């Protein structure tokens, strides 16, 4: 689960583990609620600084955001370590991290930091809440023929260094780099094409390609290369050996589009599917009247 992955990212972060109190001899990191003050896991030692976190999942058809990650950093006002000391590292270490879970990739993006004051007598607790947007990149492949898979495969064959979501076998956590950009291909629309042939049905399909890398110049160069490569060929062979034809819509690029939320390349093409042969009903009988 993504919640477990985030726990590993927090509790194994070498830049903050020495700044946190210890619970059961491990850094004091908790999902949702921290252990109470009387819990023996504290072993009578300091209970601050500590971290708790939670995720609020939402449904968003436009996939602008699919959840919110909240990381709360708690300190005492008499502690040597201040919340900002920990927040400084976590803001960078948790932002733009890709996580995979059950065929779905997620990416956390830093949004804001808000200070808060706790309750109680001196010494008082206070801290910072770091908020992240969580974007989902759900699987898009859908059988045979599959325009998504053929575009993923074409990109990988031409650019081996790409980390292509769903197509490549990727680790539980990873980041996009200028040497190994992350690519996501998704289908945004599909409709019957104005073409009819016996035994075949045709669809017009539009795909979006997300090119994710830190340097905008790297993204721009890769976008241009992909546009040129696909434009030259006019077609991409799908997983059933049939063509995904690009002459009916073509390819467009927007270098200013958000690489995570929107995608910069739009590919529109047409492909056909064989209509299943369910057999034919035999005629009941034929009557021939030779006298007429």
Look at residue 225 in the predicted model and tell me its pLDDT. Answer: 96
Higher pLDDT pick, 157 / 102: 157
**CB distance 98 to 182 below 8 Å:** yes
Where do you find CATH 3.30.2000.10 in the chain? 147-274
Mean of the per-residue pLDDT values for the chain?
90
Q: Output b/e per residue, 97-128; b: 16+ Cβ within 10 A.
A: bbbbeeeebbbbbbeebeeeeeeeeeeebbbb
Percent of the chain at pLDDT above 90? 67
Distance CA 126, CA 74 (A): 6
| Burial (Cβ within 10 Å: 0-12, 13-18, ≥19) of residue 18 | exposed
CATH number of the 2-137 domain: 3.30.2000
Percent of the chain at pLDDT above 70? 91
Higher pLDDT pick, 285 / 156: 156
First-to-final CA distance of the chain = 79
* Six-digit token string for 145: 């023929």
Phi, psi values for residue 107, rounded to 5°: -135, 130
pLDDT digits over 22-41, tens only? 999 999 999 999 999 899 99
pLDDT band at 9 (very low <50, low <70, confident <90, very high): very high
pLDDT digits over 161-205, tens only? 999 999 999 999 999 999 999 999 999 998 887 776 666 788 899
Q: Map tokens 């075949």 to a residue.
A: 200
* Six-digit token string for 260: 């995570």
**CB distance 10 to 71 below 8 Å:** yes
pLDDT digits over 45-84, tens only? 889 999 999 999 987 766 656 899 999 999 998 888 999 9
* Fold designation for 147-274: STM4215-like (3.30.2000)
pLDDT at 122 over 60: yes
Q: Output b/e per residue, 134-160; b: 16+ Cβ within 10 A.
A: bbbbeebbeeebbbbbbbbbbbbeebe
Whether the link from the prior residue into 123 is cis, omega within 30° of 0, is yes
pLDDT at 287 over 80: no
């Amino acid at each position: 689960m993504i919640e477990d992955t985030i726990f590993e990212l927090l509790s194994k972060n070498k830049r903050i583990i020495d700044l946190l109190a210890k619970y059961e001899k491990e850094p004091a990191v908790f999902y949702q609620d921290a252990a109470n003050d009387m819990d023996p896991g504290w072993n009578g030692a300091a209970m601050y600084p500590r971290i708790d976190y939670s995720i609020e999942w939402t449904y968003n058809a436009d996939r602008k955001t699919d959840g919110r990650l909240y990381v709360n950093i708690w300190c005492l006002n008499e502690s040597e370590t201040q919340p900002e000391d920990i927040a400084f590292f976590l803001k960078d270490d948790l932002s733009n991290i890709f996580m995979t879970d059950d065929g779905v990739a997620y990416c956390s993006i830093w949004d804001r930091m808000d200070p808060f004051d706790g309750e109680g007598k001196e010494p008082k607790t206070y801290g910072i809440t770091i908020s992240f947007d969580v974007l989902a990149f759900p699987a898009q492949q859908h059988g045979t023929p599959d325009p998504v898979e053929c575009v993923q495969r074409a990109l990988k064959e031409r650019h081996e260094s790409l980390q292509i979501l769903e197509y490549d076998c990727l680790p539980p956590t990873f980041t996009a780099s200028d040497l190994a950009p992350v690519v996501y291909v998704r289908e945004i629309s599909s409709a019957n094409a104005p073409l009819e042939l016996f035994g075949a049905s045709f669809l017009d399909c539009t795909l979006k390609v997300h090119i994710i890398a830190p340097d905008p110049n790297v993204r721009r160069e890769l976008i241009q290369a992909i546009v040129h490569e696909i434009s030259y060929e006019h077609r991409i062979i799908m997983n059933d050996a049939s063509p995904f034809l690009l002459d009916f819509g073509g390819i467009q690029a927007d270098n200013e589009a958000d690489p995570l939320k929107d995608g910069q390349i739009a590919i529109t093409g047409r492909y056909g599917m064989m209509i299943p042969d369910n057999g034919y009903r035999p005629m009941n009988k034929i009557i021939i009247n030779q006298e007429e």
